[in-house]
C-alpha cells in the first residue's frame, strides 16, 4: 500500500519514516489476518462464489438472450453479478470483524485508523478479484465468449477497486447499525453508480473491440472516482470507528 507520511495528529510517532513504517506494518497485519482467516474457513469466498454462479444462472433464464443480444448484455450481466457478490463479501467481512471483536482489538493499538481501513480494502479487494477470476472463465465457457482481453481485466481491476473502496467505508457504517444486512446495498448502490456505469461502458468497449478514444473517458472516470474516494475515505474513516 502507499507508504506515504501520515500527518495524523493521533499518531504517537513523531518521525515521519517511523510513522509510515508502522502504518504499512498495520495495514499488512490486517491483510494477513483477513487472508489467513479466510484461507482456513473460506466462508466469505465460498458464499461469494456460489452466489455469483447462481446470479449468472438466474440471468440466463431471466433474460433469455439469443447469441447476439447475449454479447451486448455480457458487460451488464457481469457487473451486476460482481456488484451483488461484492456486497455479500463486504457485509460478511465487516460482520466477522465486528462480531469477533477484532475491530475493537485493532482499535486498541496506537496505529493510524486508516491503516485498518486500507488493510480491509485490500483484503476485500483480493476476495472480490479471486471470485471474479473464477467467474470469468466459467462465464466464458458457458456463453462461448472470449473474456480474456487485457483491457477488460484492467477495467475489472479498477472498477472492483472503486466499488470496494466505497463499499468498505459504507460497510463499516452499516455493520454498526441495527439493520446491517439490508442497509449496505441501500447505502452502496446509489453512491457506486458512477463506478458501475463507467465499468459497464468500458467493459463493453473492450469486449466489442471499440476504439480507445471511446473507452478512455470511462477509464478516466474510473480512475478519478477511485482517487477521489480513497482520499475521502482516508479523511473520514477515523470518525466511523471512534468510540
Partner 1 sequence: MFILDTPPDTSAYMVAGYVIFFILMILYLISLFIRTRNLNQELTILESMKVQSPSEIERPVAINPPQSAGRDLKRKTAKAKVGRSNRVKKKVIKKK
Partner 2 sequence: MQTKSITFKILDIISVLLLATAVYLALVYAPEELQMGQVQRVFYFHVATAWTALLGFVAAGVAGIVYLVTKDSKWDIVEVSAVEISLVFFFITIVLGSIWARPIWNTWWTWDPRLTTAAVTELIYIAYFMLREGIEDPDRRARFGAVYTVVGSFSAPITFFAIRLFRTIHPVVIGAGDPSALGTFDMTSKMLVAFMFALFTFSVIFVDLFWNRIRMGNLASKVEQLKLSIM
Angular region, 66: left φ>0, alpha ψ -120 to 50, beta rest: beta
Cα–Cα distance measured from residue 203 to residue 156, given in angstroms and rounded to the nearest whole number: 8
* Min separation Cβ 144 and partner 2, Å: 27
Q: Which stretch binds partner 2 (CB under 8 A): 57-65, 134-142, 150-158, 168-176?
A: 168-176
Q: Is 206 in the site for partner 2 (CB under 8 A)?
A: no
Q: Which is nearer to partner 2, 8 or 176 (CB)?
A: 176
Cα–Cα distance measured from residue 192 to residue 119, given in angstroms and rounded to the nearest whole number: 20
Q: Which is nearer to partner 1, 6 or 93 (CB)?
A: 93
Closest CA to 182 of 173, 174, 190: 174
Cα–Cα distance measured from residue 127 to residue 116, given in angstroms and rounded to the nearest whole number: 17
Q: Is 174 in the site for partner 2 (CB under 8 A)?
A: yes
Q: How far is CA 44 from CA 57, 81, 88, in A?
A: 20, 16, 8
* Min separation Cβ 177 and partner 1, Å: 11
Binding to partner 2, residues 107-166 (CB under 8 A): 166
Partner from partner 2, partner 1, none contacting 99, C-beta within 5 to 8 A by type: partner 1
Q: Which is nearer to partner 2, 54 or 186 (CB)?
A: 186
Q: Is 240 in the site for partner 2 (CB under 8 A)?
A: yes
Taking each continuous run of H as one helix and of E as one strand, the counts in the chain are 8, 0
Answer for which of 193, 208, 212, 227 binds partner 2 (CB under 8 A) is 193
Partner from partner 2, partner 1, none contacting 142, C-beta within 5 to 8 A by type: none
Identify the residue whose cell numbers are 467467474.
Answer: 135
Q: Is 9 in the site for partner 2 (CB under 8 A)?
A: no
Cα–Cα distance measured from residue 216 to residue 213, given in angstroms and rounded to the nearest whole number: 6
Q: Is 62 in the site for partner 2 (CB under 8 A)?
A: no
Tallying the residues shown for the chain, one arrives at: 243
Torsion of CA 191, 195, 201, 207, to 10 degrees: -140
Answer for which of 126, 130, 157, 228 binds partner 2 (CB under 8 A) is 228
Q: Which is nearer to partner 1, 14 or 178 (CB)?
A: 178
Answer for which of 88, 90, 201, 234 binds partner 2 (CB under 8 A) is 201
Amino acid at each position: 500500500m502507499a507508504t506515504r507520511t501520515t500527518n495524523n495528529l493521533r499518531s504517537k510517532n513523531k518521525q515521519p519514516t517511523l510513522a509510515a513504517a508502522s502504518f504499512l506494518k498495520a495495514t499488512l497485519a490486517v491483510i494477513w489476518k483477513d487472508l489467513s482467516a479466510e484461507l482456513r474457513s473460506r466462508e466469505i469466498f465460498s458464499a461469494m462464489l456460489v452466489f455469483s454462479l447462481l446470479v449468472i444462472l438466474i440471468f440466463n433464464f431471466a433474460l433469455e438472450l439469443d447469441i447476439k443480444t447475449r454479447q451486448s448484455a455480457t458487460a451488464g450481466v457481469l457487473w451486476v453479478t460482481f456488484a451483488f457478490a461484492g456486497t455479500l463479501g463486504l457485509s460478511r467481512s465487516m460482520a466477522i470483524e465486528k462480531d469477533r471483536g477484532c475491530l475493537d482489538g485493532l482499535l486498541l493499538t496506537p496505529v493510524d485508523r486508516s491503516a485498518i481501513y486500507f488493510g480491509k480494502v485490500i483484503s476485500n479487494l483480493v476476495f472480490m478479484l479471486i471470485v471474479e477470476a473464477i467467474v470469468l472463465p466459467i462465464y466464458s465457457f458457458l456463453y462461448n465468449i472470449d473474456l480474456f482481453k487485457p483491457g477488460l481485466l484492467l477495467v475489472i481491476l479498477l472498477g472492483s477497486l472503486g466499488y470496494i473502496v466505497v463499499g468498505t467505508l459504507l460497510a463499516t457504517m452499516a455493520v454498526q447499525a441495527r439493520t446491517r444486512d439490508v442497509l449496505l446495498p441501500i447505502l452502496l448502490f446509489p453512491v457506486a453508480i458512477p463506478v458501475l456505469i463507467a465499468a459497464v461502458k468500458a467493459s463493453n468497449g473492450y469486449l466489442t473491440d471499440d476504439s480507445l478514444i471511446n473507452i478512455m473517458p470511462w477509464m478516466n472516470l474510473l480512475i478519478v472516482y477511485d482517487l477521489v474516494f480513497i482520499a475521502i475515505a482516508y479523511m473520514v474513516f477515523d470518525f466511523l470507528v471512534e468510540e
